[in-house]
Amino acid sequence: MPTSDTPEAGSIAVLPFPYADRLAEKRRPALVVSAPALARGHGIVWVAMVTSAKNERWPDDIAISDLDRAGLTSPSVIRPVKIATVDSTRILRIAGSVSKDELNAARQTLTRLLGNL
Protein backbone atom coordinates (compact mmCIF):
# COMPACT_ATOMS: atom_id res chain seq x y z
CA MET A 1 0.00 0.00 0.00
CA PRO A 2 1.55 3.34 -0.99
CA THR A 3 2.37 5.81 1.76
CA SER A 4 0.68 9.20 1.90
CA ASP A 5 3.55 10.86 3.77
CA THR A 6 5.83 13.31 1.99
CA PRO A 7 9.30 11.75 2.14
CA GLU A 8 12.17 13.72 3.60
CA ALA A 9 15.61 13.79 2.01
CA GLY A 10 17.65 11.09 3.71
CA SER A 11 14.70 8.71 4.02
CA ILE A 12 15.06 5.13 2.88
CA ALA A 13 11.97 4.43 0.79
CA VAL A 14 10.90 0.99 -0.39
CA LEU A 15 9.60 1.19 -3.96
CA PRO A 16 9.70 -0.41 -7.41
CA PHE A 17 13.08 0.85 -8.67
CA PRO A 18 13.64 0.78 -12.46
CA TYR A 19 16.54 -1.14 -13.97
CA ALA A 20 18.87 0.98 -16.10
CA ASP A 21 19.37 -1.64 -18.81
CA ARG A 22 15.85 -2.97 -19.41
CA LEU A 23 12.18 -2.09 -19.07
CA ALA A 24 11.64 -3.74 -15.71
CA GLU A 25 11.81 -2.82 -12.06
CA LYS A 26 12.61 -4.43 -8.74
CA ARG A 27 11.14 -3.69 -5.33
CA ARG A 28 14.06 -2.37 -3.30
CA PRO A 29 15.13 0.34 -0.87
CA ALA A 30 16.27 3.67 -2.27
CA LEU A 31 17.61 6.87 -0.74
CA VAL A 32 15.42 9.94 -1.20
CA VAL A 33 17.79 12.72 -2.33
CA SER A 34 15.21 15.38 -3.25
CA ALA A 35 13.62 17.95 -0.95
CA PRO A 36 10.00 17.41 0.18
CA ALA A 37 8.95 20.40 -1.96
CA LEU A 38 9.46 18.30 -5.11
CA ALA A 39 6.93 15.72 -3.91
CA ARG A 40 4.49 18.35 -2.68
CA GLY A 41 4.70 20.48 -5.83
CA HIS A 42 5.05 17.84 -8.53
CA GLY A 43 4.22 14.48 -6.97
CA ILE A 44 7.67 13.03 -7.72
CA VAL A 45 10.83 12.18 -5.80
CA TRP A 46 14.42 11.68 -6.86
CA VAL A 47 15.98 8.55 -5.41
CA ALA A 48 19.35 6.81 -5.46
CA MET A 49 19.59 3.04 -5.53
CA VAL A 50 20.43 1.10 -2.37
CA THR A 51 21.94 -2.34 -2.90
CA SER A 52 23.49 -5.12 -0.87
CA ALA A 53 27.11 -4.59 0.10
CA LYS A 54 27.81 -8.17 -1.02
CA ASN A 55 27.47 -7.04 -4.64
CA GLU A 56 30.54 -5.77 -6.45
CA ARG A 57 31.40 -2.28 -5.20
CA TRP A 58 31.34 0.70 -7.53
CA PRO A 59 33.78 3.61 -7.03
CA ASP A 60 31.13 6.06 -5.76
CA ASP A 61 29.25 3.66 -3.45
CA ILE A 62 28.60 4.92 0.09
CA ALA A 63 28.34 2.40 2.93
CA ILE A 64 25.29 2.74 5.17
CA SER A 65 26.66 2.66 8.70
CA ASP A 66 23.52 2.25 10.85
CA LEU A 67 21.37 -0.53 9.40
CA ASP A 68 18.78 -0.33 12.19
CA ARG A 69 18.23 3.38 11.63
CA ALA A 70 17.95 2.79 7.88
CA GLY A 71 15.50 -0.09 8.39
CA LEU A 72 17.75 -2.51 6.53
CA THR A 73 18.55 -6.09 7.49
CA SER A 74 21.84 -6.65 5.66
CA PRO A 75 24.93 -4.55 4.96
CA SER A 76 24.05 -2.12 2.17
CA VAL A 77 25.43 0.75 0.13
CA ILE A 78 23.98 3.81 -1.54
CA ARG A 79 24.78 3.80 -5.27
CA PRO A 80 24.31 7.48 -6.24
CA VAL A 81 25.29 6.86 -9.86
CA LYS A 82 21.96 5.00 -10.27
CA ILE A 83 19.19 7.54 -9.76
CA ALA A 84 15.54 7.54 -10.72
CA THR A 85 12.57 9.88 -10.77
CA VAL A 86 9.51 8.13 -9.36
CA ASP A 87 5.95 9.15 -8.67
CA SER A 88 5.66 9.63 -4.92
CA THR A 89 2.57 7.40 -4.84
CA ARG A 90 4.81 4.46 -5.82
CA ILE A 91 6.58 4.60 -2.46
CA LEU A 92 5.34 1.55 -0.58
CA ARG A 93 6.77 2.56 2.80
CA ILE A 94 9.52 4.50 4.53
CA ALA A 95 11.89 1.98 6.11
CA GLY A 96 14.12 4.45 7.96
CA SER A 97 16.80 7.04 7.23
CA VAL A 98 20.53 7.53 6.82
CA SER A 99 22.83 9.96 8.59
CA LYS A 100 23.25 13.54 7.38
CA ASP A 101 26.85 12.67 6.44
CA GLU A 102 25.69 9.80 4.21
CA LEU A 103 22.98 11.94 2.59
CA ASN A 104 25.49 14.75 2.01
CA ALA A 105 28.01 12.32 0.49
CA ALA A 106 25.36 11.06 -1.96
CA ARG A 107 24.35 14.61 -2.87
CA GLN A 108 27.99 15.66 -3.35
CA THR A 109 28.52 12.73 -5.71
CA LEU A 110 25.42 13.73 -7.69
CA THR A 111 26.59 17.35 -7.85
CA ARG A 112 30.04 16.28 -9.07
CA LEU A 113 28.61 13.96 -11.73
CA LEU A 114 26.07 16.52 -12.94
CA GLY A 115 28.91 18.97 -13.52
CA ASN A 116 28.54 22.73 -13.69
CA LEU A 117 24.89 23.48 -14.27
Whether the per-residue pLDDT at 88 is higher than 70: the answer is yes
**pTM (2 decimals)?**
0.92
**pLDDT band at 3, cuts 50/70/90?**
low
- DSSP assignment of 40-93 equals HHHSEEEEEEEEETTSPP-TT-EE-S-HHHHT-SS-EEEEEEEEEEEEGGG--E
pLDDT tier for residue 22 given thresholds of 50, 70 and 90: confident
Residue 116 predicted with pLDDT over 60 = yes
Q: Which domain holds residue 81?
A: 11-114
**Domains in the chain: how many in total?**
1
The answer to whether residue 2 sits within a structural domain is: no
**60-81 per-position pLDDT tens digit:** 999 999 999 999 999 999 999 9
Mean pLDDT of 99-103: 98
- Is 3 domain-assigned? no
In the DSSP assignment, the letter for residue 107 is: H
Residue 47 counted as domain residue:
yes
64 domain residue, yes or no:
yes
Cβ pair 7, 32 in contact under 8 A: yes
Residue 1 lies in a domain: no
Q: What is the pLDDT of residue 72?
A: 97
In this structure, is residue 103 part of a structural domain?
A: yes
- In this prediction, residues 84-102 reach a mean pLDDT of 97
CATH number, domain with residue 32: 2.30.30.110
